[in-house]
C-alpha cells in the first residue's frame, strides 16, 4: 500500500513508503515437536496416575476382605482349639478313671495268668449268677504226690504281673526299661528288717503311690509326632553328614514338611529352653518329667516361653530352616537322663498303648 500526498516530491510533503505484512511469525519445528511430546507425556502420566489410584483402591479392598477372612478363620481356629482342649480334658479324666478301675480290678480280683490283660479292652460286666449252674457230676478225685496247683494268684502276684506286663509292653519297642525306668524294674532299691505280717493280713497289691507313678510315667512318654503331616528324611543313628558327607551320628529324626507348618509338643511338660542354640538354630526344649525331655530344632520361630506349661499337641513354633540346615525341616530329639534315644521307639508306643491309658 502506498500513501500519496497532494504534492508528491515536494519538501513539505515528502514521499513515505509504508509496508504492512499480514504473515505471522511461526515457531520452529523442533519446539513444536517438543511441546507436543510434553503434552502427550502429561496426558499419559495423568492416565497412569488414575490407573494406579484405581489399582491401589482395588488392592486395599482385597486386603480388607482378606483380613476379614483371616479374622474369621482365626475365630474358627480358636473355637476348634477350645473344643479340642475340652475333649482332651474329658478324655484325660476318663482315662484316669479307667486306669484306676483297671488297676483296682487287677489288685482286688484274683484271675488266672492267662486272663490278666492290663492294656487291652475290658469286656462288659455281666450280672449273671454263675454259681447257679451246678456241675451234673462230681469230678473224679485223683491222689498224687505232686504239690497241688494254685487255682488263683495272690493279690501281690497279680500286681507284680501287671507291672511286668507294663515292662514287657515298653520293652517290646526296643527300650531298655531297666536302665531308663528303674522304678519298673524287678529289683527296686528297697530294704529293712524282715517282720512277719499280722494274722489274716493280705497284700494290697499296687499302692496308690505306685499307681500314680505308673500313670505319670505313661503321660510323660512322648508318643506323638511333632508334625501332623511330614516326610521322614533322616533316622536316628549313624549316617553321612549332608554337608561334608563324612560318617556321623544323628541324635534325632529329621522330619520335613511345608515351610511354616505348625510344630506341636509330643507330650505334656514344661518349656525349659526357647531360643537360638548354635547349629540347631531356633530351638524349643520341653521337660516331660521322669528324666524325659524332647528337643525341636531349626524352627522358623517359636511361640512359647521358658517356664510355660504345655499339653500334648500344643503348638510351640513353626517349621523352618535356621542353623545348620539344608532345607525346611524339624530336627526332633528324645532324651532320657540327658542321653539321646531313638524317637521312633517312643512313637511306636502309640500303636500299643491306648489313648485311655495315657
pTM: 0.53
Strands 329-336 and 292-302 come out as antiparallel
Question: In the prediction, which pLDDT does 127 show?
Answer: 38
Tell me the percentage of the chain whose pLDDT exceeds 90: 31
Buried b (16+ CB within 10 A) or exposed e, 228-237: eebeeebebe
Question: Which of 262 and 112 is assigned the larger pLDDT?
Answer: 262
Distance of alpha carbon 350 from alpha carbon 329, whole angstroms: 23
Question: In the prediction, which pLDDT does 219 show?
Answer: 77
Question: Which of 31 and 212 is assigned the larger pLDDT?
Answer: 31
Distance of alpha carbon 51 from alpha carbon 203, whole angstroms: 89
Question: In the prediction, which pLDDT does 110 show?
Answer: 42
* Averaged confidence pLDDT in the chain: 75
Least confident of 113-127, 165-179, 251-265, 273-287: 113-127
**DSSP 3-state of 299:** strand
What are the pLDDT digits (tens) for 223-262?
A: 899 999 999 999 999 999 999 999 999 999 999 999 999 9
Question: In the prediction, which pLDDT does 271 show?
Answer: 97
Distance of alpha carbon 135 from alpha carbon 116, whole angstroms: 26
Domains and their CATH numbers in the chain? 231-342 (2.70.70.10)
What are the pLDDT digits (tens) for 142-188?
A: 444 444 444 445 555 666 666 677 777 666 655 666 666 565 555 55
Least confident of 78-87, 118-127, 208-217, 257-266: 118-127
Amino acid at each position: 500500500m502506498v500513501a500519496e500526498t497532494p504534492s508528491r516530491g515536494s519538501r513539505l510533503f515528502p514521499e513515505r513508503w509504508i509496508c504492512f505484512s499480514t504473515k505471522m511469525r511461526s515457531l520452529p519445528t523442533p519446539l513444536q515437536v517438543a511441546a507436543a511430546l510434553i503434552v502427550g507425556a502429561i496426558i499419559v502420566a495423568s492416565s497412569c496416575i488414575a490407573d494406579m489410584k484405581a489399582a491401589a483402591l482395588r488392592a486395599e479392598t482385597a486386603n480388607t476382605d482378606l483380613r476379614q477372612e483371616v479374622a474369621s478363620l482365626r475365630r474358627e481356629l480358636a473355637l476348634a482349639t477350645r473344643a479340642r482342649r475340652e475333649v482332651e480334658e474329658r478324655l484325660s479324666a476318663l482315662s484316669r478313671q479307667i486306669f484306676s478301675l483297671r488297676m483296682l480290678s487287677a489288685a482286688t480280683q484274683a484271675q488266672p495268668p492267662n486272663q490278666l490283660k492290663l492294656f487291652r479292652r475290658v469286656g462288659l460286666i455281666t450280672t449273671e449268677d454263675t454259681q447257679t449252674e451246678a456241675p451234673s457230676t462230681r469230678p473224679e478225685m485223683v491222689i498224687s504226690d505232686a504239690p497241688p496247683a494254685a487255682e488263683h494268684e495272690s493279690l501281690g502276684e497279680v500286681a507284680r504281673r501287671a507291672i511286668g506286663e507294663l515292662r514287657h509292653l515298653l520293652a517290646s519297642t526296643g527300650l531298655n526299661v531297666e536302665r531308663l525306668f528303674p522304678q519298673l524294674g524287678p529289683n527296686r532299691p528297697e530294704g529293712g528288717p524282715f517282720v512277719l505280717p499280722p494274722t489274716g493280713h493280705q497284700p494290697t497289691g499296687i499302692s496308690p503311690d505306685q499307681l500314680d507313678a505308673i500313670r505319670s510315667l505313661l503321660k510323660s512318654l512322648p508318643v506323638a509326632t511333632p508334625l501332623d503331616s511330614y516326610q521322614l528324611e533322616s533316622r536316628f543313628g549313624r549316617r553321612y553328614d549332608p554337608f561334608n558327607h563324612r560318617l556321623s551320628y544323628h541324635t534325632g529324626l529329621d522330619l520335613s514338611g511345608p515351610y511354616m507348618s505348625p510344630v506341636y509338643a509330643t507330650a505334656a511338660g514344661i518349656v525349659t529352653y526357647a531360643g537360638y542354640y548354635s547349629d540347631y538354630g531356633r530351638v524349643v526344649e520341653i521337660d516331660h518329667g521322669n528324666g524325659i525331655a524332647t528337643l525341636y530344632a531349626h524352627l522358623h520361630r517359636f511361640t512359647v516361653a521358658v517356664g510355660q506349661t504345655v499339653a500334648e499337641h500344643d503348638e510351640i513354633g513353626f517349621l523352618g530352616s535356621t542353623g545348620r540346615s539344608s532345607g525346611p525341616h524339624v530336627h526332633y530329639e528324645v532324651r532320657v537322663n540327658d542321653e539321646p534315644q531313638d524317637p521312633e521307639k517312643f512313637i511306636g508306643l502309640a500303636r500299643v498303648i491306648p489313648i485311655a491309658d495315657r
